[in-house]
Structure 1
């Protein structure tokens, strides 16, 4: 993969970031610049898959967990994302990163057509939607139809920004086009390149259509998107639109543990990964631990000891309990709330072989549970409960496989899952607000899956987060979006400003994205 990794690097160097880089013209006209067009489509696939998987882990750890209160960097002041200290440089970095992947996968798509590689043509469409959906979900309106075409005939360095509605409609069309190609069972030429599905078009098709359900759910608050009709079309014709049916279908990239096929945090020590900075937040602890009337911890979510680790310092945590730090704490509070707080489980999450999941079966079942409860699909509350319990079981079973890697062995039995489903943490029957229950448990199940929990929170406004007193950098408002970078506003101002005018907002982190609950209400 070293050769392939270098190939992707070349691609990233020349990637077009929607016409927003100051040296755009030079990059596109310099005759001494090597272009990715000189390689095979298959030469781009493996780096896109593996490096994309590393990106998913990194953004989950760096951005999602801090914004959504899975963790908080209270071990110092070098990182303050949990206090919403997010700069234009951050906006630029995130914009450029997703754009580079969108550009490279679009180029792979073009190459696949030129080289008549139908398998990679379909995969490119799926991956394009995967990357670009995150870009639009973070920023709002973005270029889509005119993105990455500066070198094509009639292309532009100043692409128009389309509304999120238009972007979603185009993403849906791309996923449906990919589904049709997968159905023809095209040959994946070299299965060993595919560390997720081994070249199985059937498995990729399930991922493609499950991703479609994810994005339908994202816009389900918008009546004009006719989400119920679209979901039922999929569910009523499983032979045409197969979706995940078990954890065996999970979109999980497997790492061998040998460089460069390693987990993003393979060479990261426990201090830099968690104990010196990112600690488990009290929001996560209160949703996974039950206490009695005397405030004794009497029961915990069976997944907690796999994703987390108690602080073993007896002087800081003499009772050996789960302690969460305070997300959004003030500078004065920081040292106090950091005392004795629990860590991420480095032995599990930062193993060289630890895989990345883009999407799993549990998420699909949560999607169906919510859809049934709201009447978007048939079955009502009876079906919703079954989907919900399937989702819980799938999530716990997924994490149970990693219990063997914890410093203290964690084993989870079927009885443990039954007990959890009957507990006050997860019981369907003992929770009156079923919509909140589904959203809360989905939030937990999305741990370590990219930016999904952040997206879902803005869509549902669950779980009910406590915004800390130290979140002064965005006026104590959890970022509703990221702003367009300064370079974007400078080099493509007319189109970027038109996008802001369309949503009647400022270029800040307080303007809600179109599909969010805040925008709809």
Structure 2
């Protein structure tokens, strides 16, 4: 074996190991480390897909759920993300993770072009946008046009930071180009490598264009982006821009359960996963349980007993949430009898990972119709909304069988939910809030999407706890650039901060957020 091939083997080993480790935060490798050597693009695809899915699973559990109050780690002081205690090492870890995937998928794209593998060329473009959209959505302005070019002759070692508006423009261009490549109906040469779509390029094309809708929705508050016209074009041209049509199209990575194709939490016990630390929150219970004026719990969102589990030590046998952002003095009281994540559902070797689902597409269209960005008005918005909620319940119904007490969700259950005070369209006085809040719940366990959406819409209304002193009682609006980035590429990073109008902290809003738009930034 040559030294070059040894480097490649080691690099791929590290890449694949990340997805299967229980200590993800400590095993991220340097994104500036370039994979080199003689390798097929297909050799990079599988670890990018499976490890990407496991990264999404880890980040939804570790970051997303704590920041937007699905869960709160109140089992001590070793983890305090729900109190907004997020350190520089955390910023560095998150920056490195998304950058590393962006770097590796860029390399896969280069190889696919060289090797004339059009299927992987298109997929690489879709995956790069997915990874890099999360990097920009978490940090704001980032290197994009000049990123990952250090390995080239006369490579760029200090890439400029593109404005978030420019990053989005380039991502839209990439999705357009990928869609055109998918339209040529290229053959996926090794379908057994594809744990999401089995090499079905039409489904990859639907994912590409559904991702396009996600990002158009994200920046829809910025009129200069022309998102209404583009959404209308996509909706009116299904043959040119096919999108998800049912849950069968969901971007779901299927793990076989056999090593190394295993879910991130395959060997995680209930204590480590939830009961000794991360509990369901008061906020989540409030949004999924109807409580009478007398304090009786009279109705429950059918998804809750799949997502969560009542505390067996709760003598009242009720759903109870802990308080996100609670003080040390409050912790003992609010934690007593609190409900947990349902480890039986999530901690299985073959539990899937989701990048995006059909419900999200329907929520996007519901919001767009309600706002007049696409045709149909409130009547169409209601239909899209009902489709979205139904799709979310149908998706989770498949996993009810794994709960300790199996849960079923029937069509009658869905109808009942749509007419309940939790989800009724007719009873909602603020339908924009209703769409956003139900979308928020439907995004449970899908990466960082609920965190992104909360910052975009301001819904649901979250109660900021009295213990969130670490960021001055402000839910983090972004993550700060790591110190190493500020030290090695200071001029470009500082220019980006000046453009964003704030300091390198977690209080400066990103460009597409509701806070930035309302403040005129």
Q: Give the secondary structure class of the aligned counterpart of 2:391.
A: helix
Equivalences for residues 369-518 of structure 1 within 5 A: 369-518=366-515
Equivalences for residues 246-261 of structure 1 within 5 A: 246-261=246-261
Q: CA deviation at 1:119?
A: 0.3
The answer to whether the Cα contact below 8 Å between 1:12 and 1:104 also exists between their aligned partners in 2 is: no
- CA distance in 1: counterparts of 2:104 and 2:151, whole angstroms: 13
Q: 1:362 aligns with which of 359, 364, 382?
A: 359
In structure 1, the partner of 2:52 is: 52
Is 1:8 the counterpart of 2:12? The answer is: yes
In structure 2, the partner of 1:325 is: 322
Equivalences for residues 335-350 of structure 1 within 5 A: 335-350=332-347
Q: CA deviation at 1:338?
A: 0.8
- CA distance in 1: counterparts of 2:109 and 2:489, whole angstroms: 25
Q: CA deviation at 1:63?
A: 0.0
The answer to whether the Cα contact below 8 Å between 1:327 and 1:468 also exists between their aligned partners in 2 is: yes
Find runs of 4+ consecutive structure 1 residues off by over 4 angstroms: 3-7, 10-13, 21-24
In structure 1, the partner of 2:84 is: 84
Q: CA deviation at 1:155?
A: 2.3
Q: CA deviation at 1:335?
A: 1.5
In structure 2, the partner of 1:157 is: 157
- CA distance in 2: counterparts of 1:326 and 1:37, whole angstroms: 51
Q: Give the secondary structure class of the aligned counterpart of 2:328.
A: coil
- CA distance in 1: counterparts of 2:15 and 2:103, whole angstroms: 9
Q: CA deviation at 1:6?
A: 5.5
How many residue pairs get aligned? The number is 501
The answer to whether the Cα contact below 8 Å between 2:8 and 2:36 also exists between their aligned partners in 1 is: no
- CA distance in 2: counterparts of 1:348 and 1:54, whole angstroms: 16
The answer to whether the Cα contact below 8 Å between 1:252 and 1:357 also exists between their aligned partners in 2 is: yes
Q: Give the secondary structure class of the aligned counterpart of 1:224.
A: helix
- CA distance in 2: counterparts of 1:258 and 1:10, whole angstroms: 19
Cα distance per residue 1:269-314 (max 9 Å; x no partner): 000000000000110000000011211000000000000000001x
Q: Give the secondary structure class of the aligned counterpart of 2:290.
A: strand
In structure 2, the partner of 1:112 is: 112
In structure 1, the partner of 2:206 is: 206
The answer to whether the Cα contact below 8 Å between 1:41 and 1:120 also exists between their aligned partners in 2 is: yes
- CA distance in 2: counterparts of 1:412 and 1:10, whole angstroms: 41
The answer to whether the Cα contact below 8 Å between 1:4 and 1:43 also exists between their aligned partners in 2 is: no
The answer to whether the Cα contact below 8 Å between 1:306 and 1:345 also exists between their aligned partners in 2 is: yes
TM-score by length of 1: 0.94
The answer to whether the Cα contact below 8 Å between 1:22 and 1:491 also exists between their aligned partners in 2 is: no
Unaligned regions of 5+ residues in structure 2, if any?
1-6, 18-28
Q: Give the secondary structure class of the aligned counterpart of 1:38.
A: coil
- CA distance in 1: counterparts of 2:13 and 2:481, whole angstroms: 25
Cα distance per residue 1:42-80 (max 9 Å; x no partner): 000000000000000000000000000000001111100
The answer to whether the Cα contact below 8 Å between 1:372 and 1:380 also exists between their aligned partners in 2 is: yes
- CA distance in 2: counterparts of 1:320 and 1:4, whole angstroms: 54
- CA distance in 1: counterparts of 2:187 and 2:139, whole angstroms: 36
Q: Give the secondary structure class of the aligned counterpart of 1:329.
A: coil
Q: Give the secondary structure class of the aligned counterpart of 1:187.
A: coil
In structure 1, the partner of 2:93 is: 93
Cα distance per residue 1:417-453 (max 9 Å; x no partner): 0000000000000001000000000000000000000
- Pair 1:345–1:159, CA change in 2 (3 A): same
- CA distance in 2: counterparts of 1:61 and 1:216, whole angstroms: 26
Q: CA deviation at 1:151?
A: 1.7
- Pair 1:470–1:105, CA change in 2 (3 A): same
Cα distance per residue 1:373-429 (max 9 Å; x no partner): 000000000000000000000000000000001000101110000000000000000
Equivalences for residues 178-197 of structure 1 within 5 A: 178-197=178-197
The answer to whether the Cα contact below 8 Å between 1:468 and 1:476 also exists between their aligned partners in 2 is: yes
